[in-house]
Amino acid sequence: MSDAMSNIPLKDLLISARQEAHRMRHFFLGVEHLFIALLEIKGGLTASILADEGFTPEYVIDAIRRKAGKGSRHRLWAGIPNSPRTEVVLAIAYEIALEHGRQSIYERDLLVAVLEENDSIPVRVLASLGMDMEKFRHQARTRTVKRSATGTFVKVDLATYDGELGKDQLFILRRMFHGYAEVRVEQRLTGGYTPALLLVVTPIHVDRREDASVVVKIGQTDSILDEAQRYDRYVKNTLPPLTARLEERPTAPDTSDLAGIKYTFITDSDGHPQDMRVAARSWTGMQLGEWLHSRLYHYFGDAWWKQNRPYKFDVWQEYDWVLPPVLTLEISREEKAPEDAQVLHFPIRRQRLEALEYGDNVVVENFIVQKVDREKRAIWLALGHGGTANTNLTRAYQIEVRDIDFDHDTYYRGEIVERLIGRVWKTRNEQLVGAVRALEPDFEFNGEKIIFNNTRLMNPLLHYTSLLDEMIDASLCTIHGDLHLGNILIGPNNSALLIDFARTRDGHTLFDWATLEVSLLVNFILPAFGESWDNARQVVEILVGINRGDTRLNITAEIAELFQAIRALRQIISDCLANSGHLEEYFIALAFCALRAVTWDTMSVGGRRLMFLVSALAMHDYKYYQQPEFVSGLTPTPDATEFFNSRTNEGF
């Protein structure tokens, strides 16, 4: 495609810009609207330059909309006048056109003018995203827009790869390694419980020289671009130099819903890294536990987990968001809410939420848009209350809203929705109960307690809501946010490497370790037992002893060896507690990390069964370690432990 793509006249751009102003209820024409009009030109100059820097037009548009904010529904003047800054930009663009012997302003003229004016919302947003503005200005003046090649210019060798790649995934892979003759997909890393694809890839030059293997992650565009931003903010300047590094901008073509990022790292002689989910299969529990403490915790702790600081929070602030949406609503087209509608706003009254049922009318006020999915015609809202350093506060009380008409309504991530009317389609409790029912429990799972063998535990389905209102004395630090065995790689000399920073943030220090214990139990411990409910109960009964500090469990030497990994992890956890010995801080984290795993269809059935019982035990032990007798150092009474022998009714 020739540079004629830059010859789109101003009158056409103004149509798109005014439409954007109308969607945002601004009732004036600002530079932000002009720039969004430039971004909406498919294959245009602006979009092409940003694509080379790893940004899609949609991602930048969202960022600009967040910065500008949506206006009031009430108009204070007629028409859509130009803002003073817009007048300045248009004057600069006209001068540029005259320099080229034209009276008409085209796309390139307007883009260069916006960048030369240099103080508008779009310029500030691009700078905050890490754009090299001098480079952008140079390319805006000199770049010739051409059609991107989409043929088989990069061969993808899947001979050693046990699996298949979809058309879109192959397209992203070829774009990521443009300029190479071939890439060889060595293996798939086991990754986490999300749809993102993690591959080990070796790039090959035309002369058959091979570069070092890299880890490639391919996933939804917004998630990938957010991960790159989090890496720059939390990881780039904090972690040791030998860990995995994000060395290039993401590849995010505007013709695909997927994007990719590339992690480079130092490997051992074979160049083929293993994640811990695979490597640990050949390790003993003692070896794994020692490695977690001496390599992972020791290597990364100084920059992250040991930098903790006091942090008191309501449990819902850190853990409500890990659970399914509190409500799923079908949006109403009515402008006026029914008289019986329940109004949800900050502060949330949980009693109102628990009383809602299918078909009830709900009004949501001042929630923040967390996610937009045009394909599913849905948005996800979360509690829209700021004023805190904790980023998770604005992720709590998530509400899914379905049946959005995106042709009529504009929503963008970060937008505060003043008012939205809908009808309840599903509640959180229904989703959790459905997830447990799908596991075919061989016990009554709707009762007040979960009872088996010698154990009586709190039922997570009935008690999680009350625990969300508890207040915890804890600590805050930068956390990985998804610390499972699939995101931990083995480097040279058995060193630890971390990948996948999509959820890295400042948060509760023990969240990482609770996430890792979930992964250890499901991927390292459970395979030695099996997938049945009886197997899950066997694991939990051993955990009961470990939680009580019992070193003389009635189990085989082989099983005891496996659980050495859990014991070592608990040593790390003890070191990270805000208050020494107050394990209730950890068990509240484990309770919710395990409960969320019950809903993961990508986890094995046996793993989800175990997680339900682990959540029940953690909720019980949260209460156990709050007992006055324990806090004072005395032995808790049998009544306080709530464990009993089902035949004799004696203390466990």
Distance from C-alpha of 513 to C-alpha of 488, rounded to nearest angstrom: 13
Residue 385's pLDDT band (cuts 50, 70, 90): low
**Out of 270-274, 362-366, 406-410, which region has the weakest mean confidence (pLDDT)?**
270-274
- For residue 644, the model assigns a pLDDT of 34
Domain 155-270 grouped into CATH 3.40.50.11290? no
Give tens-digit pLDDT for 551-563: 677 889 999 999 9
Distance from C-alpha of 473 to C-alpha of 475, rounded to nearest angstrom: 7
Q: Is the pLDDT of residue 39 over 70?
A: yes
Torsion sign, CA atoms 590, 344, 425, 356: positive
- Tokens representing residue 583 in the block: 């394990």
Residue 238's pLDDT band (cuts 50, 70, 90): confident
Query: Between 133-142 and 107-117, two packed helices, what is the crossing angle to 10 degrees?
Result: 150
pTM recorded for the entire structure: 0.81
User: What would the mean pLDDT of 300-325 be, rounded to a whole number?
Assistant: 92
Give tens-digit pLDDT for 485-541: 999 988 777 888 888 898 999 999 999 999 999 999 999 999 999 999 999 999 999
- Tokens representing residue 260 in the block: 């990719």
Domain 3-142 grouped into CATH 3.40.630.10? no
248 and 190 Cβ atoms separated by less than 8 Å: no
Report domain extents, the chain.
3-142, 155-270, 318-433, 438-475+508-641
Where is mean pLDDT largest: 240-249, 264-273, 308-317?
308-317
- Three-state DSSP at 123 gives helix
Give tens-digit pLDDT for 427-439: 999 999 999 999 9
Express the helix, strand and coil content of the chain in percent, nearest 5 each. 45, 20, 40
CATH value of 318-433 in 2.40.50, 3.40.50, 2.30.30, 2.60.40: 2.40.50
Q: Which ranges constitute the DSSP H helices of 129-182?
A: 133-142, 167-176
Give tens-digit pLDDT for 641-652: 444 333 232 322
